[in-house]
Structure 1
Amino acid sequence: MQGFAINSERLLARLQHFAAIGGTEKGGVNRQALTALDREARRLLAKLARERGFVVFQDPIANLFIRREGKNPDLPPLLIGSHLDSQPAGGKFDGALGTLAAFEVLETLEDQEIATERAVEVVAFTNEEGCRFAPGCMGSLAFAEAAIPDSWRDLKATDGAGFAEELAATLDSLPEAQPRPLGFPVSAYLEVHIEQGPSLEHQGIPIGVVTGIQGTRWLDVVVTGQTAHAGTTALAYRRDPMLTVSQALAELYASIMPGDAEARFTVGRISCLPGAVNAIPDTVRLTVDLRHPSTAVLDINENLIRKTFETHANVQGCGTAVTRIFDMAPAQFPEPLLATLQEAASDCGFATAHLLSGAFHDALFLNRVAPSAMIFVPCRDGLSHNEAEHVEPDHCIAGCQVLGAAVLRLATA
């Protein structure tokens, strides 16, 4: 398969074309899931696919599939892609690069008349970001489970729109797409994505071979005390939940991440009630985002958080409750597929680094039902979920080229 080279000018032009759909004044993209702009991007991709003679499908969660047939249509297809939805103030590359790089590989196969043994399909998964409707990765999760959870039907978006209605409108916007059931056998899944971190850029390495995705747990922490007057209540008479929270957090911030370079501990939301400037609060509520590649360490750190809050609450005469509200197990991508990506990068002449993903992606869920892996490319300053998100053109091209080389190894054998 010597001479296989993507059309880099076409890829870069496509990235700019899609970035204009929902483009913001600051150069980013606001194309949230299941909106009119999301539907516009899906229609454009389907139009480009049909113009090349590819077959377009969608399933009941509005995952969009584009199929280039192989010599043996009975073989499970090789799936490549990502997502098209963005954050409210997102960038041009998160998700879109992976989807459009996959489509470019499909077009290059067609341009060069390369017959693959199995079909190759591009997928654009629904609602990876989870910013308008939660949870994120809805499309890949439903695909892996072969079902849409009943609890999603009554979901409301941040703008008040109903999930069921917006999903129906999205499905109806592509009448030319053939329906297919949720979930079907695939031989493997590959996804190109920006790193969303600074390590590749700092090392000057163009390609990251992603070995897995760390586990994530979200905890809801509630500490209860007693409301009292801020000016008249002496220290000895206070049951102040904010004091409990501040002391517990100081201890946890000083221990979890400083003691383990792979651990992540983040408090993303915190609120006090009743919220008066001149009153001691009676309730403080906060969220904890806890991450680690080891389930055992997640267990240890979750227990540490529970005990730390309980200890400080007891000293202050407060109550505490810690509830796990989200649990995403770590994923390890299979070694044979990682070796294929390494070989593909070597074929293309690119240096690589092996990385663990700190964020979860659609590949996390596909890995439950098929061998999956990811290719990371550098992003400037590690910045993502931001309108200033930037990937150098050469790195976009490199990620796509490595994907193409891997597809040749996996789909033509």
Structure 2
Amino acid sequence: MTPPRISADRLWKRLMALGQDGALPNGGVNRQALSVEEIRAWRRVIAWGTEAGLVPSTDPAGNLFLTFKGSAPQLAPVVAGSHIDSQPTGGLFDGAFGTLAALEAVTAIVEANLAPERSIVVVGWMNEEGSRFAPGMMGSELFAGLRSLDDVLAVRDADGVSVGEALTRVHEAFPDMEHRPLGFPIHSYIEPHIEQADLLEKSGAVIGIVTGIQGKKTYEVTIAGREAHAGTEPMERRQDAVQAFARVALMMQQAMAVDDKVKFTIGRLMVEPNAPSVVPAKVTFRIDLRHPSNALLDQLDTQLEAILIKEATPCSFNIRRLVDAPSNDFDSGLMNAIRSSAKRHGFHHLDLLSAAGHDARQLAPLTRSAMIFIPCQGGISHHPEEWAQPDHVAAGAAVLLDLLLQETGLSSHQGDA
């Protein structure tokens, strides 16, 4: 029997076609979660899956599933994929590569007339990016039972639209689609993705065996002072929120520099009333803190609050913890399978830690999980210039196909891509 092979040409053409849903004039993509653009993308991906005999379904979280039903559907399925939502100025590959690589690998199995016992499920998780509705990873976190559905449905975007309202519109667009309960047992989970950094590119590696994902904590901090006239309010009497923020930001930056693996970022910043001749009354900002060690992250968390207590005076402050995602390791058996597949295909490979967060973090505590990275040109991601080479895209899909064959017991390896 001829082993299944992915179609590199079909996979590449589908990636380019999906990029038309939310296409920007500069070649980027704006396809945010539960948007009209993502509904169009769902239609496209569902049509491709249906053509291959896969059955579409969704759940209360708005995750998209395409199932190749096995001969023993009572067995826990193998799940593979990523997400198809993007940043407002995103690229063609982040998330989309993983979901379409999974669809291509399953399509190759179907075309080879192979019939696994276990079902294979291609997934597109809801709102991985968190650009429209914050924080991200909503679909996978709900699937894993890490968040309350009611709390997520109440989250609103900048226009006041709630997740619940947007999700209703998505479900109304697909009235005949099967709805499944939230969460189900999984035999194993595999997520292909672009690296979003340049370690693979610099080393000349084609396949990244992801050992784990570093931990992440995010915060929203508000420093509240008192509005006053810039020309008349004495300096010693001022409760200047920007001055307090400047002290806090400097001390935090210094305190977080405990080793070169700490990633500390102050991102979104809002000043009120943001007028040139008014002493600022309020500063609201976001903190993104990452490190592979959960113990160190907890220690730095304590330091952040201590700095606010000391440096925000005479202003008051409030710190709201948005995300507390611990670091995780991936399954050693699946990592070995990725490594073996790369060797068989002659793909240079590299073990590496993911510095970015992915839905696989939420799946790792539930089941044997792994990630396959391919190079990202220049390490550029979340940007219209994000790019992956066609042969690297094909290589990642070929390795994924090997793992799906192994995890369903169909074969230990496939033919060359």
Aligned twin of 1:276: 275
Q: TM-score normalized by structure 1?
A: 0.91
Counterparts of 1:11-410 in structure 2, within 5 Å, are 11-145=11-145, 149-231=149-231, 236-257=236-257, 259-314=258-313, 317-410=314-407
Which letter maps to 2:380?
Answer: L
CA drift at 1:13 = 1.0
Q: Is the 8 A contact 1:212 1:356 kept in 2?
A: yes
CA drift at 1:300 = 1.3
* Paired residue secondary structure (1:145): coil
Report the CA distance shift for 1:148/1:178 in structure 2 as closer, same or farther (over 3 A).
farther
CA RMSD, 1 decimal:
2.3
Q: Is the 8 A contact 1:34 1:167 kept in 2?
A: yes
Gaps of 5+ in 1: none
CA drift at 1:399 = 0.9
Gaps of 5+ in 2: 411-417
CA drift at 1:193 = 0.8
Q: Is the 8 A contact 2:127 2:136 kept in 1?
A: yes
Q: Is the 8 A contact 1:35 1:166 kept in 2?
A: yes
Q: Which moved more, 1:242-251 or 1:20-29?
A: 242-251
Report the CA distance shift for 1:251/1:21 in structure 2 as closer, same or farther (over 3 A).
same
CA drift at 1:90 = 1.1
- Cα distance in 1 for partners of 2:363, 2:370 equals 9
Which letter maps to 1:297?
Answer: L
Which letter maps to 1:289?
Answer: D
Q: Is the 8 A contact 2:206 2:349 kept in 1?
A: yes
* Paired residue secondary structure (2:74): coil
- Give the number of aligned pairs: 410
CA drift at 1:10 = 0.8
Q: Which moved more, 1:204-213 or 1:248-257?
A: 248-257
CA drift at 1:244 = 3.1
Q: Deviation digits for residues 190-247 of structure 1, max 9, x if unmatched?
A: 0111111122112221111111122221223333445444345565555444333223
CA drift at 1:25 = 0.8
Report the CA distance shift for 1:352/1:277 in structure 2 as closer, same or farther (over 3 A).
same
- Cα distance in 2 for partners of 1:354, 1:337 equals 13
Which letter maps to 1:312?
Answer: E
- Cα distance in 1 for partners of 2:100, 2:113 equals 20
Report the CA distance shift for 1:85/1:273 in structure 2 as closer, same or farther (over 3 A).
closer
- Cα distance in 2 for partners of 1:304, 1:2 equals 60
Q: Is the 8 A contact 2:3 2:112 kept in 1?
A: no
Which letter maps to 1:410?
Answer: E
Q: Which moved more, 1:123-132 or 1:99-108?
A: 123-132
CA drift at 1:50 = 1.9
Report the CA distance shift for 1:101/1:264 in structure 2 as closer, same or farther (over 3 A).
same
Q: Deviation digits for residues 231-287 of structure 1, max 9, x if unmatched?
A: 455655554443332233223323424x31221111112233343322333433322
Report the CA distance shift for 1:112/1:200 in structure 2 as closer, same or farther (over 3 A).
same
Q: Deviation digits for residues 331-385 of structure 1, max 9, x if unmatched?
A: 2222222222222222222122222222221111122322211111111121111
Q: Deviation digits for residues 120-163 of structure 1, max 9, x if unmatched?
A: 11111222222222332222122112986112333333344343
Q: Is the 8 A contact 1:61 1:148 kept in 2?
A: no
- Cα distance in 2 for partners of 1:275, 1:39 equals 37
Q: Deviation digits for residues 306-353 of structure 1, max 9, x if unmatched?
A: 222333345xx4444433233222222222222222222222221222
CA drift at 1:81 = 0.8
- Cα distance in 1 for partners of 2:32, 2:92 equals 13
Q: TM-score normalized by structure 2?
A: 0.91
CA drift at 1:175 = 3.6
Aligned twin of 2:415: none
* Paired residue secondary structure (2:186): coil
Report the CA distance shift for 1:132/1:225 in structure 2 as closer, same or farther (over 3 A).
closer
* Paired residue secondary structure (1:286): strand
Q: Which moved more, 1:152-161 or 1:192-201?
A: 152-161
* Paired residue secondary structure (2:144): helix
CA drift at 1:60 = 2.4
Q: Which moved more, 1:317-326 or 1:30-39?
A: 317-326
Report the CA distance shift for 1:385/1:229 in structure 2 as closer, same or farther (over 3 A).
same
Q: Is the 8 A contact 1:80 1:123 kept in 2?
A: yes
Which letter maps to 1:230?
Answer: A
Q: Is the 8 A contact 1:205 1:351 kept in 2?
A: yes
* Paired residue secondary structure (1:98): helix
Q: Percent identity?
A: 39
Report the CA distance shift for 1:42/1:390 in structure 2 as closer, same or farther (over 3 A).
same
Q: Which moved more, 1:15-24 or 1:137-146?
A: 137-146
Report the CA distance shift for 1:291/1:62 in structure 2 as closer, same or farther (over 3 A).
same
Q: Is the 8 A contact 1:348 1:405 kept in 2?
A: no
